[in-house]
Chains A and B, each alone.
Chain A
Amino acid sequence: MTSSIESIETVEHDVIVVGAGGAGLRAAIEVSAQGLSVGLVCKSLLGKAHTVMAEGGVAAALANVDPEDGWQTHFRDTMNGGKKLNNWRMAQLHAQEAPDRVKELERWGAVFDRTKDGKILQRAFGGHKWKRLCHVGDRTGLEMIRTLQDRGVHQGIKVYMECTITKLLKDGDKIAGALGYYREDGRLILFKTKAVVLASGGVGKIYSITSNSWEYTADGQSLAYEAGAELIDMEFVQFHPTGMVWPPGVRGLLVTEGVRGEGGLLTNNKGERFMFKYLPESTRHEFAADEKEAKEWIDAAIAGQKTTARRPPELSTRDNVARAIYTEVKEGRGSPHGGVFLDISYQDSDRVRKKLPSMYHQFKELADVDITAGPMEVGPTCHYIMGGIKVDADTAQSKVPGLFAAGEVAGGMHGANRLGGNSLSDLVVFGRRAGLGASEYAKGLSAMPKFKDSDVQAAIDELDAPLNRTEGPNPYDLHKKMNEIMSAHVGIFREASEMKTGVEKVRELKKEIAKVRVGGGKKYNPGWHLCRDLKNLIVAAEAVAISALSREESRGAHSRLDFPNLEDEKWGHVNTTLSKDGDNMKLEHKQLPEMPDDLKKLFENK
């Protein structure tokens, strides 16, 4: 079953981009615009990446609806949302450049919803002080990916579809290539390249209830880790507060925050608007004091008018809403299927259908619920990982020369908790920067680096192993086991003894994964593909578990029952940092970069 290296299809590009979601596409477009040759490798068909699932909008301080908005406020909201664990420079670049990136999308053909005076319309979202999310109904991600995809294909980007990268190859310290296989028939492909941009998304498939698709298997995190890069903040996994809870087949499927942005109300089985109770002291003053004030705000938002009323409490940050829902359900005030109620049906039904068309269809078709007539049932679902590959803010380069990362796979931008809408903007801002960084780096290399054939052979052997074994566990069973371990031991609320058990179980599972076996051939064999994915997933599972165990405080998305408070003194200035040390995962707590004084001032008068 082994193939000789000479017979493998070999291609050469200045830059290889792994992942064709928003960040990958934007990076590839940038490389191509710099006049370099770029190969875009994606696990699915082009245009199917997880970005299409993003619904609510892209955050950019255009100030079209609320003229008070500006990059400074966006920056401050982002840092506050991330509990100041963000890399300040990334948050700054993001807030400053997002408006340009959005306008650029418009110039490339994206068709955003409009204000009455013909500008890009913006809606409210959790944690954003002003109405800031440019959107297209509730399918903003689709709009973005289609725009970038069309821009890309007409710019001459070479796309390798349904192709999985399994190994990054190096020349000494620096990146020299990558090995991949086509899902269609398992044939191998070798990329010779000067730089690699990882834009492969997140790790959601380590949990059972997740809004993420099968692709979210930590490929980039694992490839980078194996190649010597550092991972940071892996304990911060965002549970989106509103996922579907019923029927079972769609449990975890996302219900956009846009529902709350458009005025959706959260209630428990007693009919209480419970979010009023869960507002943290630090931000309480930004939210409506009672239902009356909240209603004023919603009425004004629908009418497109200004108001002095403050936002409804449903628009608190995601970590906070998720914990509130979890607590309500746990204390017996949940809905019949173990969630809470989210209701938008009190509004005009035509408006609901127009502003939230895919939510309307999603509930109608998959759950037999008409959201214009009655409430939805929702509960927390794993959605996003704030942590990821540690990169330089300006160039998006990791510790490994020639290895860049952008989007969800990169860490630092969102700190301890990501605000809704900051992900789509992150993709285009840092996608472009990674593309630019990689181009500069590639231009600086005089010759194509060379990898070793023995490394390629080792990677091939590892890839083929599950097919060659005569016995071993089934990959689907192992995946299920991993989901159960992570959900039970490293879920929304965490505690030392649970997590210790979790870490042990994950390490046990790692050994089993090394023995996984699958039948069938190489031709489009999902079982075999899963074997590969498991190798990546287990890296992420271990990273999340040990990072979470190490951080003895509650911050943002990381909630410890045994350490319920924010411990700024001890933990407010360090990132949990992981790197490969032989067969072990080395954990260190490294200092955060210090914010300059002019930015610090932004937080003073608030």
Chain B
Amino acid sequence: MSEHKAKEATLKVYRGDGKEGKFETYKVPMEAGMVVLDAIHYIQANYAPELAVRWNCKAAKCGSCSAEVNGHPSLMCKTRMDHFEDGEEIVVQPIKTFPLIKDLVTDVSWNYRVNEKIKPFTPDESDTKEWVIYQEDIERVQEFRKCIECFLCQNVCHVLRDHEKKDGNEQFMGPRFLVRAAGLEMHPKDTADRLEYLKEEGHIGYCNITKCCTEVCPEEIHITDNAIIPLKERVVDEYYDPLGKMIKGIFGGGKKK
């Protein structure tokens, strides 16, 4: 076993509680197929039992271990150690957009509060027959429902990250909840109208479609092209297209059905 020394990786991990903090450097022996989260666990078990990190499934299914690795928002359980250069220092930091609790753990409760404001799924109560829905009707919605709520898109979105549009009447709902809204709006059995909310309260207009949400999405949801832009176009239908509205008025064709 000890014939040739196992390769070592160097990790610089942020340690602190939001008031003060620093990077600490740890050496971790490399193993085949290792991911950054394995390295963090190694540090916990061997050097720093109190190192705070949030994780659950370790299989990119729960979206708990979001962090910034060498500045890239990513899931630690999916970031392979062998993707870094030999001897490259790997910097692991908590996500930037939400308040830090400790080390790599941030307080993401803001997201849960935003979620509550979206009108829930509202089918027609009088429609009691067994639903007939074809696959092509729900393919779009199924893409959105792949979301694992890792909040990496919320983290990387500059509207929340840098312009901090999180509160009051300037609150931006963020890519995650635009995706959720899209999943509801495009559901063939949903009857609620969320366009006013999207425009006036969710501020979909703050999104300047720079697509970073799509770039970081571990589920590879086409957030911008398939969720946000179609919603923007629906908002245009309602608020910025007088001609289209007039034509629909004459020839019929409401928003739903």
Contact = CB atoms under 8 A, between A and B. Distances in A.
B149 interface: yes
B112 interface: yes
B133 A527 contact: no
Contacts of A589: none
Contacts of B61: 52-53, 139, 142, 358
A93 interface: no
A297 interface: no
Nearest to A51: B62
Given A136-B145, A249-B35, A153 B115 contact: yes
B35 A366 contact: yes
Contacts of A476: 44-45, 49
Question: What's the interface size class on B, roughly?
Answer: 35 or more
A106 B129 CA distance: 12
A11 B134 CA distance: 46
B234 interface: no
Given A109-B184, A154-B116, A524 B102 contact: yes
Contact of B132 (A109, A113, A117, A139): A117
Contact of A119 (B31, B132, B148, B184): B132
Contact of A525 (B35, B45, B52, B112): B52
B64 A45 contact: yes
A521 B48 CA distance: 12
A271 interface: no
B89 interface: no
Given A109-B184, A143-B145, A118 B56 contact: no
B120 A151 contact: yes
B146 interface: yes
A520 interface: yes
Contact of A528 (B32, B50, B115, B184): B50
A53 B53 contact: no
Nearest to A477: B45
Interface in B124-159: 130-135, 138, 141-142, 145-149
Contact of A365 (B55, B80, B123): B80
Contact of A53 (B62, B80, B101, B146): B62
A250 B59 contact: yes
Interface stretch (B6-14, B103-111, B245-253): B103-111
B78 interface: yes
B56 A215 contact: yes
Contacts of A253: 58-59
Contacts of A215: 56
A107 interface: yes
Q: Which of A161, A185, A365 has the most CB of B within 10 A?
A: A365
Contacts of A525: 49-50, 52
A47 B61 CA distance: 11
B57 interface: yes
Interface in B38-82: 38, 44-45, 49-64, 78, 80
A523 B120 CA distance: 35
Given A52-B61, A249-B34, A518 B130 contact: no
A44 B56 contact: yes
A246 interface: yes
A524 B64 CA distance: 15
B32 A45 contact: no
Nearest to B35: A249
A254 B112 contact: no
A247 B133 contact: no
A368 B54 CA distance: 26
Given A117-B132, A248-B32, A111 B145 contact: yes
B44 A365 contact: no
B33 A109 contact: no
Contacts of B130: 103, 119
A519 interface: yes
Contacts of B112: 46, 153, 159, 161
Given A46-B112, A246-B33, A247-B32, A52 B57 contact: yes
Give the interface SS of chain B, mostly helix, strand, loop or mixed. Answer: loop
A250 B33 contact: yes
Residue among A139, A184, A249, A367 with most chain B CB within 10 A = A249
Nearest to B184: A109
A50 B55 CA distance: 12
Contacts of B38: 249
Interface string A50-74: 1011000000000000000000000
Given A150-B121, A154-B116, A475-B49, A526 B148 contact: no
B62 A527 contact: no
Nearest to A141: B61
A320 to B, nearest CB: 25
B17 interface: yes
Interface string A140-154: 001100100011011
Interface string A202-228: 000000000001110000000000000
Interface in A370-393: none
B58 A248 contact: no
Contact of A154 (B35, B49, B102, B120): B120
Given A214-B56, A524-B52, A525-B52, A114 B44 contact: no
Nearest to B141: A111
Contact of A184 (B34, B80, B101): B101
A253 B62 CA distance: 13
A48 B148 CA distance: 8
A429 B60 CA distance: 28
Interface string A491-528: 00000000000000000000000000011110111111
Contacts of A52: 57, 61-62, 148
A37 interface: no
Which of B17, B38, B52, B132 gathers the greatest number of chain A CB atoms within 10 Å? B52
Interface string B170-207: 00000000000001100100100000000000000000
Contact of B187 (A109, A139, A246, A254): A109
A362 interface: yes
A474 interface: yes
Nearest to B44: A526
A108 interface: yes
B34 A150 contact: no
A45 B49 contact: no
Contacts of A103: 130
A482 B115 CA distance: 40
Contacts of B31: 247-249
Given A111-B142, A367-B33, A250 B58 contact: yes
Nearest to B115: A153
Interface string A465-496: 00000000011100010000000000000000
Contacts of B49: 474-476, 518-520, 525-527, 530
A470 B31 CA distance: 34
Given A46-B112, A475-B49, A53 B63 contact: no
Contacts of A530: 49
A44 B57 CA distance: 11
Given A48-B62, A53-B61, A248-B32, A107 B123 contact: yes
5 contacts: A109-B184, A111-B187, A113-B135, A161-B112, A213-B56
Given A246-B33, A520-B50, 14 more contacts: A45-B149, A109-B120, A114-B133, A143-B145, A213-B57, A213-B58, A246-B32, A248-B32, A250-B33, A250-B58, A253-B58, A254-B59, A474-B49, A527-B44
